Structure formats: structure tokens, C-alpha cells
Structure 1
Amino acid sequence: MRWPTLLFIFIFTTLIIAMNGESAEPEQVHLATTGIPEEMVVQWGTEEDTTVSCPSGNTVEYGIDNDNLNLSKNGNNDMYLWTTCTHTTLLSNLNPNTTYYYRVGGDGEWSNVYSFKTLEENPDKIIIGAIADHGTSSNAQETTSNMEGENLNLVIHPGDISYANGAGSGNSIGDQSVWDEYQNQIESLTSESPHMYAPGNHEEDSEPYGFDAYESRFFNPGPNSFWYSFDFEFIHFVSISSEHEYEPGSTQHTWLKNDLEDANENRGNYPWIVVFAHRPMYSSNGDGDGHGSEIEFREAMESLLFDYQVDLAIWGHDHHYERTYPVFEEEVYSNNSGTQNDPFYKPGATIHIVAGMAGRSTYDGLEEPQPLWSAYREVAYGYTLFEATNTSINYKFIRNSDMQIADEFWLVNTINVQEPTETPETNYNQTNQTEDTSLINQIKELNYLETPFIIIIIAITAIFNLKFRKK
């Protein structure tokens, strides 16, 4: 008899609190993209009194004047078994190449005013950031601060985001307050540049949470939280999960095959394909406390990347930076230097990046000797970014300690041939070519006059004799 009574009291009390709840102060402001240039997804969190009710406002006020936020849009909210409520509002019909100012909240509780800038219409280039294994350490904060000055149009994050769960892979229930700490820590970056994610092993709590925090806190443009794709100017991005079933015949494997097939046929509109997920198919950081290449994941998925000519694959999980040559089944397809003067031109296989150096303690377990497929590797904190155009990708790893470019490469899909702008000086070969051209023209004229064949033969013989006499 006591349990039904206690349950009734709990439910009744919760409803009373919910009915009398007040709006909470907005925090954890972050942006996401739908892939449509005229849209921006705005998300934020509020700390509520219960895990079952979110009375705080879902409104974004925005405009092109910092002092006149004359537009507004309402959204929705979501909660899991935690008191943080995530609010999501979609802004649409935005103008290109425009700075928008915005604040979030409602019912008397508003955030500070933030801003973001929409892309130009048909931009010459875009700049994408890529980091993984971030967390809340001082090194992670330094990475965030350094990235703020890069004018990033988008950031992709291949998993192990906050480290709320230090054990990972469903082995314990993490401290959910670390999610709040993390999202407040990176707000200065996420409030101005949209971020898109893939799940890592440290996003998975044991039951009853599972991946609830990841699913509730972050927007994605597809019906599935764990694998999805979107187009962003020149690039088709594909986020997949190394933490869910991926074997051939699985739902994810079938989806990926269909998505990459469509993307490869749509190269005319989006010439580049970039895949990102957490566990790396190629990593030489496998000694000691490292992890190394995820062989089972690679054997299940790599053939799809090869068949549909995925250009870049960006991973995390191992806490260092590493870049491969274009590689498939450990066979190197191009050993170009990758410099601007010697770029990778349609190399025929994917270049893999491990970008797990964003803030979590580094792994110093590099295998020796360095594998032939490994082009560059370094154990250092930092971040990566790449500038993309219709015809090129320029990828860089920037080291935090000195803000120097530690590694850089170029990938191109077109080789430009420069036409000479001045008439070259005459030389012997060119003089002979001119005389030969004149000779051919004389022969053609004879044919056009429908001259009898025997006369043409005599004439050709005479012309050749005249030429050799001149020499």
C-alpha cells in the first residue's frame, strides 16, 4: 500500500512544481546546420527544477541590427533523465553574406546577444574545422580559444565530446553535469559556428541513459541520430557511428552504401565527399595506452569508401594527429608530397585523418617503424581545419603550443593548365613547324580545287622539291 501512495505523492508533487515552474536562464548556446544555406539551427540549455517539465521559453529573437532584434521564431524542447532542457529553434529565409544578431529564451529570461554570419551566395571557398576527443581540460580550452579566430563556417566533431562518462562504452553512468560544463565552455565558438557531431564511445552511458545525452543535446538533419548526411556548399558530409552495428547487411551499412552511391553520382553539385566517425580505420598509435587501427570497422566499411571514392575520412579515438597517404587495404595509391605544387590529384583512394588531439590527455604509443601508409603523425595538442573550393581542399593541422602549421596537404580534382600570355620567341623547331603548316595548306588547296589525282601527285612532288632546295 505504501508504494502506490508514495508514487502518487511523487507524481502530484512533480506536477505542482511543473505547473508553477518559472523560466530558467539560458546557457550552453550552440548552432547546427541543416545543410540549407538559408537556414540556421539555434540550440541552448536551461537548468530546470525537474526532469519531466521544461517551462522555460523556446524563442529566438534575431535581426541584422544588434540593437533591433525585430524578428522572432519559436521552437521546441527536449529532456532526458536530467534537469537540463535542450531548446531547438530553426531560423529560415536568411539572407546570404549577412551577420545576424540573436538572443534566446523567453518569459523574462534572455541570454546575451550573440551573432553568426551566413555564407555568401556561391562562395569561392569555405573553411571547416575538425576536432575530436575534446573534453573540459585546460588544453581543451586552449584549443577552443585558438579556433575562435579562424572564421570557421562549420565544425565537425567525430566523437568523445565532453567526457561526462570517463569509462565509456556503456560501462558506467557519467556525471551529467560535465555535459553542462562542457557546453558552456565552448559556447564562445559554438554560438558563432555551427557544429555537427558523430557519437564516440564516451557518449554511451549504461542504462537507463545509453546515448540519451547525445541524442537530446545535439541536432542532426536526419531521422537517425547516429548516422546522417548533409550537403554544405562544395561538400557532401556523412556522419556514421563506429559505436553501433556496422557489419554488411546492417541498417547502417545499407544506409551508407545508398547514401554514398547517390553522393558519388551528384559530384557535379557537390564534388567532395567527407566521412567522419569516431574510431579510426587507420592509426599507428597502438602501443602502450594507444588504440590503433579499428580492423573490424575497417573490414566492414572501407570498401564502401573505396567504391564510391570518398575523398577524406576524419576520425578521433586515438589522442594524437595522424594523416595517411591515399590508402585502401593498407596499399598506398599515391605517395605524392601533397604540397601545392605536388598535390594529390584524384588519387583513387581515401586520405584518413586522426584528429583526436583536441584536449584529452595524449597517447604516446606510436608504433615503430612507422607504417608505409602513414604520411605524417605527431603527439601534440591542436586542431585541424581545411579550406575547400570546387576544385581543391587544403588541409592543415595547427599545433596549440606555437600556433604553427605542423602538417599540411592539398587534394585537387582538376589540374589547371596555364595558357601562355606572350608570344614565345621563334626558334628552329617552330620555324620548321610554320613551313610545314604552309606546305600542308598548299596541298589542301589542290584538293579543294578537285584537281585530277595525277596532277596533285606531280604538284606535291614539286612542292617538296622546292622546300628541300630552300634548305
Structure 2
Amino acid sequence: MAMESRRRSSITTIFVILVLMAAAEAMKPCPGTTSGYRRKKKKAAEAMEDMPLDADVFAEPPGRNAPQQEAGNSTVMYGKAMDKLDMAAEGNHTRHKYYNYTSGHIHHCTLVNLEYGVKYYYAMGFGYTVRTFWFTTPPKPGPDVPFRLGLIGQTFDSNATLTHHHSSGAAAAVLFVGDLSYADKHPFHDNTRWDTWGRFSERSVAYQPWIWVAGNHEIDYAPELGETTPFKPFTHRYPTPHLASGSPEPYCNNFHYMEGEPMRVEFERMAVDARVDLVFSGHVHAYERSFRVSNLRYNITDGLCTPVRDRRAPVYVTIGDGGNIEGPADEMTWPQPAYSAFREDSFGHAVLDIKNRTHAYYAWYRNDDGEKVAADAVWFTNRYHMPNHDDSAAAAGNKKRR
């Protein structure tokens, strides 16, 4: 009995020590940075929630098939020279109704037999108004092939973000992390905002590959309007290659702080074991980058384990800051959590330059009163090819330069 009592006492002591260690870790000053940047007060015209529908970025190009979703030819001609479009692909079209709105003919066409790293020209609208665009396919995948990815999360801020993205140099592709048209913030989920969003984003989407992730503003579930099919406008307009990943439907979305904990518990172990380097998320309208941290022991209910530095773990980036009608999320947790490396309640975009199998350069640019300013930048080393390298030193050096 005495031995059993001592054993229980030792277990209790260990338990108390673990609790004290967790508490001490939580009280350590955060080595991260909370940006002191504050946006200047907007001009009266720019204080509106959305740009007016007569803004030049929403202007309809001349011609019947310009992109007003008219019925007609769905054929796309394409080729390696503007004067030699020697390949053809036949598309199809779909329409949908949403409450008191009926969409036009939304055309979709898949181009096949494309080569890596080649500039292609393409044209559509035959029989009416022919329009021609071009794009460059990504390079052939390989461990040391450079690849630039643009990251963007119809407002004046969205307009600035898209303009700054262009000035960052041509990206091989763009990842858009949700919240597109904000039609759901207008009376009756005004779906004409999906039309204007298409015209607004054409200046980029028509010239480079975009991949879309659905956010909560794409749900458009409104039983009070008789609309009970989630994501109806989004899925009719922006099909994503979800079947390639084995997913039965196009992606998902999460909400606010801690509401994604069940998903974290399910997926974090896989991310750490696979040595994932970066995880990008949207929804919260601000910017934040974490250190490499994991919280593998925490199971939602015990509350004993706080995130700890872990070289195997990904860096988590919240980049839902492309521009919205609600304003930036400025209610941050204080004191700044120990896992947080840099955060700012502002708008902007990011660029990820993958250099080779071991290194990538990442930079986030804020929208600073019409200017593009590099506010956060860091080099990443790959956990698979450089498992024991600590890239926190590079992050610390970057912090000193800001």
C-alpha cells in the first residue's frame, strides 16, 4: 500500500509539473510581431461597401458573347500562335436559378493535350464577337523546378489587391482562398454580383490558371428564399478538380477561431507526418503567419497541451485579406499567442516562389494607401529534404529587418 501511495503521489507530481510547465509556456513573451500599421481613413467615395455597378472594372466588353453568358457557340480554338489556332475543344453550358435571378448561359470548356511551360492563345465567341486571350501552362513538375504561386483571399480593396498582384510579376497559378462575390451580403443574395465579379476578375483569370476554394460566403444557403442547395452559384460557375484528390465534392470551409478544432485534430497528425511546409487558410479578414508549431497531444477536452515549436510541423498562414465589404478583422487575441510569428489587420496578397527542392521564398504585400508594400517575408526550407534545418533563424533575421 505504501508503494502504491508513493506511485500515485509521483503521478500526481508529474501531472502538476506538466500543468505548471504549460502555464509557464503560455506566459512567455511572444517572440512574434503584431504590426503597428494602421490604414488611413478612406475617402467618402471609397467608404462604400462595394464599388458601384457603373465602375469601369465592371464594364461589359463590346459584343454579344462578351462575357455576358449568351447562348451560342461553346467551341474554343487554341494554339501556340495567335494566327494559328489549330486545336479545338467543344465546351458545354449550364444555367441556374436563384430566387428571383436566372443566370445566363455559363460556358465551360476543357483544353486538352497542353504541353508544359508553353504560351497558348485561345479564342471563343465564333459567329458573334470573337475574343482572344492567352495563358502560359505551368512548368513540368520536378523537385528543382521553380514555381511561383500567387495567393489572394468586389470592393475598392479587392481592386487594389488584384492590381498589386499583377505588379508582383506573372505567377504560374493563383490560389484564391474563398469569399468571391459577396452576393450573400446583398438583399436576396443578389446574384448579379456574381456576374460583376466575373467581369472584375477577368483581367487576371483569363490569362493564368486560378484554383478556387469555397468560403462561407459561397454557401448561399437561404431557406427563407427557398434556396436549400448549398454552393449553387459557386459550383455552376467555378468547377474545381476535386475528383483528382478523391474528394466527392468541391472542398469545404471553416469558420472562426477554435471552430475548426475538430478538423485540426483529424488532420494535423497527417500534416506533420507528411512534413507539410505550408498551410493556407482564408475566412478571417486579416493576415497572420505562425511559427512551425504542432499541438498533437491536445484532444480538445484535456486542455493541458499548448502548441509547441516543432520543426516537423507546417507554418500556418491566414490570408483572407484580399478585400471584403466587412472591413479587416481587428479584434485580435491578446497577448499575442506564442505560436504567432507575424500578424496585421489589413488587406493584401502574397507570393510564394518555390526555388528548388529545398528552398522557397514567401512574401506578403499589404495594400498601403494605393501602394504595394512588402510587410512580411521569409525563406522556407523543406522539411522532407532538410529535416533537421531550423528556418526560424531566417525568420528572426527577417523580423529585425522590418
Q: With structure 1 as the length reference, what TM-score do the two structures score? A: 0.58
1:115 to 123, 127, 134: 134
Consecutive unaligned residues of structure 2, counting only runs of 5 or more, are: 1-62, 296-305, 388-402
1:331 correspondence with 2:346: no
Q: Measure, in 2, the Cα distance between the counterparts of 1:408 and 1:173.
A: 41
Q: Measure, in 2, the Cα distance between the counterparts of 1:88 and 1:370.
A: 46
Q: Measure, in 1, the Cα distance between the counterparts of 2:193 and 2:166.
A: 22
Q: Measure, in 2, the Cα distance between the counterparts of 1:174 and 1:225.
A: 31
8 Å CA contact retained: 1:75, 1:87 = yes
CA RMSD of aligned residues (A): 2.7
Which structure 2 residues correspond to residues 311-390 of structure 1 after superposition, within 5 A?
311-329=277-295, 330-334=306-310, 347-360=311-324, 361-388=327-354, 389-390=356-357
3-state secondary structure, aligned to 1:380: coil
1:129 to 132, 140, 150: 150
Q: Measure, in 1, the Cα distance between the counterparts of 2:126 and 2:231.
A: 29
Q: Measure, in 1, the Cα distance between the counterparts of 2:339 and 2:106.
A: 43
Once the two structures are TM-superposed, the CA of residue 157 in structure 1 deviates from its matched residue by 1.6
Once the two structures are TM-superposed, the CA of residue 91 in structure 1 deviates from its matched residue by 1.4
Q: Measure, in 1, the Cα distance between the counterparts of 2:237 and 2:228.
A: 17
Q: Which amino acid aligns with 1:203?
A: E
> What's the CA shift string for 1:116-153, capped at 9, x where partnerless?
11234457300001122xxx001101111111232111
3-state secondary structure, aligned to 1:90: coil
Q: Measure, in 2, the Cα distance between the counterparts of 1:226 and 1:383.
A: 29
Q: Measure, in 2, the Cα distance between the counterparts of 1:141 and 1:163.
A: 14
8 Å CA contact retained: 2:69, 2:107 = no
Which structure 2 residues correspond to residues 16-35 of structure 1 after superposition, within 5 A?
24-27=64-67
Alignment CA distance shift 1:165-1:77 (3 Å): same
8 Å CA contact retained: 1:319, 1:355 = yes
Alignment CA distance shift 1:385-1:369 (3 Å): same
1:138 to 132, 156, 175: 156
Once the two structures are TM-superposed, the CA of residue 298 in structure 1 deviates from its matched residue by 2.7
3-state secondary structure, aligned to 2:372: coil
Once the two structures are TM-superposed, the CA of residue 24 in structure 1 deviates from its matched residue by 4.5
3-state secondary structure, aligned to 1:319: coil
2:202 to 183, 187, 194: 187
Which structure 2 residues correspond to residues 287-326 of structure 1 after superposition, within 5 A?
291-294=256-259, 295-326=261-292
Q: Which amino acid aligns with 2:276?
A: V
Name 2:189's counterpart in structure 1: 174
Q: Measure, in 1, the Cα distance between the counterparts of 2:203 and 2:192.
A: 19
8 Å CA contact retained: 1:323, 1:377 = yes
1:411 correspondence with 2:380: yes
Q: Which amino acid aligns with 2:362?
A: Y
1:159 correspondence with 2:210: no
Q: Measure, in 2, the Cα distance between the counterparts of 1:349 and 1:215.
A: 33
Once the two structures are TM-superposed, the CA of residue 63 in structure 1 deviates from its matched residue by 2.2
Q: Measure, in 1, the Cα distance between the counterparts of 2:235 and 2:244.
A: 9
Alignment CA distance shift 1:184-1:227 (3 Å): farther
1:85 correspondence with 2:85: no
Q: With structure 2 as the length reference, what TM-score do the two structures score? A: 0.67
Name 1:398's counterpart in structure 2: 365
Once the two structures are TM-superposed, the CA of residue 209 in structure 1 deviates from its matched residue by 4.5
3-state secondary structure, aligned to 2:105: strand
Q: Measure, in 1, the Cα distance between the counterparts of 2:219 and 2:86.
A: 41
Once the two structures are TM-superposed, the CA of residue 226 in structure 1 deviates from its matched residue by 11
Q: Measure, in 2, the Cα distance between the counterparts of 1:201 and 1:368.
A: 26
Which structure 2 residues correspond to residues 201-220 of structure 1 after superposition, within 5 A?
201-205=216-220, 206=222, 207-220=227-240
Q: How many residues align?
A: 295
Instruction: Provide the identity percentage.
Output: 27
Q: Measure, in 1, the Cα distance between the counterparts of 2:152 and 2:246.
A: 18
1:66 to 68, 76, 82: 82
8 Å CA contact retained: 1:227, 1:241 = no
8 Å CA contact retained: 1:165, 1:175 = yes
Q: Which amino acid aligns with 1:164?
A: A
8 Å CA contact retained: 1:363, 1:379 = yes
Name 1:424's counterpart in structure 2: none
Which structure 2 residues correspond to residues 223-262 of structure 1 after superposition, within 5 A?
223=243, 227=247, 240-242=251-253
Q: Which amino acid aligns with 1:125?
A: P
Q: Measure, in 2, the Cα distance between the counterparts of 1:173 and 1:305.
A: 40
Name 2:36's counterpart in structure 1: none
Q: Measure, in 2, the Cα distance between the counterparts of 1:395 and 1:227.
A: 28
Name 1:460's counterpart in structure 2: none
Name 2:125's counterpart in structure 1: 105
Q: Which amino acid aligns with 1:189?
A: S
1:56 correspondence with 2:72: yes
> What's the CA shift string for 1:73-132, capped at 9, x where partnerless?
211122221323221111122233322111222332322x21111234457300001122
After alignment, is 157-166 or 405-414 more displaced?
Answer: 405-414
Alignment CA distance shift 1:187-1:228 (3 Å): farther
Once the two structures are TM-superposed, the CA of residue 183 in structure 1 deviates from its matched residue by 1.3
> What's the CA shift string for 1:6-34, capped at 9, x where partnerless?
xxxxxxxxxxxxxxxxx95131xxxxxxx
Once the two structures are TM-superposed, the CA of residue 224 in structure 1 deviates from its matched residue by 8.8
Once the two structures are TM-superposed, the CA of residue 357 in structure 1 deviates from its matched residue by 1.0
Q: Which amino acid aligns with 1:412?
A: T
Determine which structure has greater relative contact order: mean sequence separation of CA pairs < 8 Å that are 6+ residues apart, divided by chain length: 2
Alignment CA distance shift 1:296-1:211 (3 Å): same
8 Å CA contact retained: 1:221, 1:228 = no
